[in-house]
Protein backbone atom coordinates (compact mmCIF):
# COMPACT_ATOMS: atom_id res chain seq x y z
CA UNK A 1 0.00 0.00 0.00
CA UNK A 2 1.16 3.50 -0.80
CA UNK A 3 -0.34 6.43 1.11
CA UNK A 4 0.19 8.57 4.13
CA UNK A 5 -2.06 7.81 7.09
CA UNK A 6 -4.07 11.02 6.59
CA UNK A 7 -4.76 10.39 2.88
CA UNK A 8 -8.40 9.68 1.98
CA UNK A 9 -7.48 7.08 -0.66
CA UNK A 10 -5.02 4.18 -0.45
CA UNK A 11 -3.49 2.52 -3.51
CA UNK A 12 -3.77 -1.24 -2.90
CA UNK A 13 -2.61 -2.39 -6.34
CA UNK A 14 -0.68 -0.77 -9.17
CA UNK A 15 0.24 -2.09 -12.61
CA UNK A 16 2.23 -0.33 -15.30
CA UNK A 17 1.72 -1.39 -18.89
CA UNK A 18 4.22 0.08 -21.33
CA UNK A 19 5.68 3.45 -20.49
CA UNK A 20 2.51 5.51 -20.08
CA UNK A 21 -0.35 3.21 -19.03
CA UNK A 22 -0.93 2.91 -15.28
CA UNK A 23 -3.80 1.00 -13.66
CA UNK A 24 -4.42 1.38 -9.90
CA UNK A 25 -6.99 0.06 -7.47
CA UNK A 26 -7.80 2.65 -4.81
CA UNK A 27 -9.72 2.24 -1.56
CA UNK A 28 -11.61 5.07 0.16
CA UNK A 29 -10.59 4.91 3.85
CA UNK A 30 -13.99 6.21 5.00
CA UNK A 31 -16.32 3.99 2.96
CA UNK A 32 -13.97 1.07 2.07
CA UNK A 33 -15.29 1.28 -1.53
CA UNK A 34 -12.79 0.23 -4.22
CA UNK A 35 -12.14 2.25 -7.40
CA UNK A 36 -10.23 1.51 -10.59
CA UNK A 37 -8.10 4.42 -11.84
CA UNK A 38 -6.43 4.42 -15.25
CA UNK A 39 -3.86 6.86 -16.58
CA UNK A 40 -3.12 6.52 -20.27
CA UNK A 41 -0.67 9.09 -21.59
CA UNK A 42 -2.28 12.47 -20.93
CA UNK A 43 -5.77 11.09 -20.20
CA UNK A 44 -7.38 8.83 -17.65
CA UNK A 45 -10.48 7.78 -15.82
CA UNK A 46 -11.92 6.53 -12.57
CA UNK A 47 -14.76 4.10 -11.90
CA UNK A 48 -16.20 2.29 -8.92
CA UNK A 49 -15.68 -1.48 -8.82
CA UNK A 50 -18.87 -3.49 -8.25
CA UNK A 51 -19.69 -7.01 -7.13
CA UNK A 52 -21.87 -9.52 -9.01
CA UNK A 53 -25.04 -7.78 -7.74
CA UNK A 54 -23.92 -4.35 -8.93
CA UNK A 55 -23.15 -3.09 -5.41
CA UNK A 56 -19.88 -1.25 -4.70
CA UNK A 57 -17.04 -3.64 -3.99
CA UNK A 58 -15.83 -3.15 -0.42
CA UNK A 59 -12.26 -3.79 0.76
CA UNK A 60 -12.17 -5.98 3.87
CA UNK A 61 -8.42 -6.18 4.55
CA UNK A 62 -6.51 -3.87 6.93
CA UNK A 63 -5.44 -0.58 5.36
CA UNK A 64 -2.59 0.22 7.74
pLDDT tens digits, 3-59: 567 899 999 999 998 888 999 999 999 999 999 999 998 899 999 999 999 999 999
pLDDT for the residue numbered 42: 85
3-state secondary structure the chain: CECCCCCCEEEEEEEEECCCEEEEEEEECCCCEEEEEEEECCEEEEEECECCCCCECECCCCCC
Amino acid sequence: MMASEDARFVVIEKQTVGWAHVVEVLVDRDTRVQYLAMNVGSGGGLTVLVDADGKPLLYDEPLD
